[in-house]
Amino acid sequence: MANQLLKGKKGIIFGALNDQSIAWKTALKCYEEGAELILTNAPIALRMGEINALAEACGNAPVIPADVSNDDDIKKLFTEAMAHFGGPVDFVLHSVGMSLNIRKGFHYTSLNHEFQHKTLDISAMSLHRVCQVAYEMDAMAEWGSIVALTYIAAQRVFPDYNEMADAKALLESITRSFGYHYGKKKKVRINTISQSPTRTTAGSGVKGFDGFISFAEKMSPLGNASAEDCANYCVSLFSDLTRMVTMQNLFHDGGFSFTGVTQEVIEQMEK
Ligand code: NAI
């Protein structure tokens, strides 16, 4: 199936925790399409060593620990990436999210604001941090592509998505704002993919996830987009076929975002 769409391209993949992770599937697809990769995750997430299997499957890709809320870690990551690649980076996948308030079970109306700071830092400001470090170090190649993952709770209310809705709204705003500046400076494009609910470690942390995922399935003419589908979409955005796409929030959800109601949902309501 591979078409070598990313032949000769070099990329950094953030956030492959286990084989359910969207980042894991994306790394495999990028490698299959001819890319050279560096994998990164928070030091604590690397402790289990699961990522070594992915590194091996991606041509012994180096694994470099980096906490996305730490400037020095991100600088070290880009320094080592450029040394390894012998030049700039063509693409970056930001597939990182974490909500401390969700984890601790705090309702949106009684958040712990220290936790909220941390959530916004890890899940949204981290994209700014990655872009700024790359911008200052001139670490991205011309026409490079940065993609982050988001969810439609940034635009519409999904009560149990809690503070992550605000984090995703900020993430999408940073995408537009930095996309402007990086586009002007070096034709680097920055986009978010707004993905269907997907069974992963982060996804399953959301309260009522089973109901959430089956509602979305019924509300999407094409059904929910899988993690593999998302990986394919990422490949297209890293490729030269999408060079003029930037500053966008791109829905990848089987049509969910533009569907008012479906027959299946009406039938369910009539029961
Ligand atoms: P996942 O749990 O496999 O990935 C989340 C990753 O974030 C993990 O690898 C984790 O180690 C990493 N991370 C957390 N804190 C970090 C830190 N301080 N520094 C570096 N990395 C850190 O789950 P998934 O679903 O693959 O998540 C990837 C992205 O997709 C997230 O942004 C998530 O919000 C987004 N997304 C997920 C959906 C879902 O239903 N699973 C739907 C729409 C978007």
Which ipTM score applies to this complex? 0.99
Q: What are the residues whose beta carbons fall under 8 Å from the beta carbon of 73, sequence distance 6 or more?
A: 65, 66, 67
From the list 6, 14, 12, the residue with the least C-alpha distance to 202 is: 14
How many secondary structure helices (H) and strands (E) does the chain include? 12, 7
Q: Exposed e or buried b for every residue in 201-223, given b needs 16+ CB within 10 A? A: ebbeebeeeeebbebbbbbbeeb
- Binding-site residue numbers for NAD(+) are 15, 21-22, 67-68, 96, 168
Confidence at residue 2, expressed as pLDDT on a 0 to 100 scale? 87
Task: Output the pLDDT for position 180.
Answer: 98
157 within 8 A of 165, measured Cβ to Cβ: yes
Bridge partners of residue 89, in order along the sequence: 140
Q: Secondary structure of 78-90 in the HEC alphabet?
A: HHHHHHHHCCCEE
Residue nearest to ligand 1 atom 18, measured at CA: 67
- CATH architecture for segment(s) 10-270: 3-Layer(aba) Sandwich (3.40)
Phi and psi angles of residue 47, each rounded to the nearest 5 degrees, phi first: -60, -35
* Residue of the CA atom closest to atom 8 of ligand 1: 15
pLDDT at 3: 93
Ligand 1 touching residue 15 (CB < 6 A): yes
Site to substitute for ligand 1 among 22, 146, 198, most atoms within 8 A of C-beta? 22
In the reported structure, the alpha carbon of residue 268 is separated from the centroid of ligand 1 by a whole-number distance in angstroms of 32
**Are 161 and 155 within 8 A, CB to CB?**
no
Ligand 1 contact via 225 beta carbon (within 6 Å): no
Substitution site in 12, 18, 21, 123 for ligand 1 pocket (most atoms within 8 Å of beta carbon): 21
Alpha carbon nearest to ligand 1 atom 5, residue: 96
Please identify every residue annotated as catalytic.
151, 161
Indicate the SS3 state at residue 244: coil
Please indicate whether residue 198, judged by its CB atom, sits closer than 6 Å to ligand 1.
Answer: yes
Structure tokens at 229: 């589908």
CA dist., res. 119 & res. 135, Å (int): 24
CA of 21 to the centre of ligand 1 (A): 7
The β-bridge partners of 13 are 39, 93
d(CA 1, CA 112): 48
| Distance from residue 97's CA to the centre of ligand 1 (Å) | 4
Q: pLDDT tens digit string along 84-107?
A: 999 999 999 999 999 999 999 999
Q: Are 58 and 13 in contact (CB under 8 A)?
A: no
How many C-beta neighbours within 10 Å does residue 117 have?
13
- Which residue from 25, 40, 50, 95 has its CB within 8 A of the most atoms of ligand 1, so it is best to mutate? 95
| Closest residue by CA, ligand 1 atom 33 | 97
User: How many angstroms separate the alpha carbon of residue 22 from the centre of ligand 1?
Assistant: 8
The pLDDT value given to residue 42: 98
| Mean pLDDT, the chain cut into blocks of 10 residues (271 residues total) | 92 98 98 98 94 98 98 98 98 98 97 98 98 98 98 96 98 99 98 97 87 94 98 98 98 98 94 88
Distance CA 149, CA 93 (A): 8
Q: What residue has token string 């906490």?
A: 67
pLDDT at position 1, please? Answer: 60
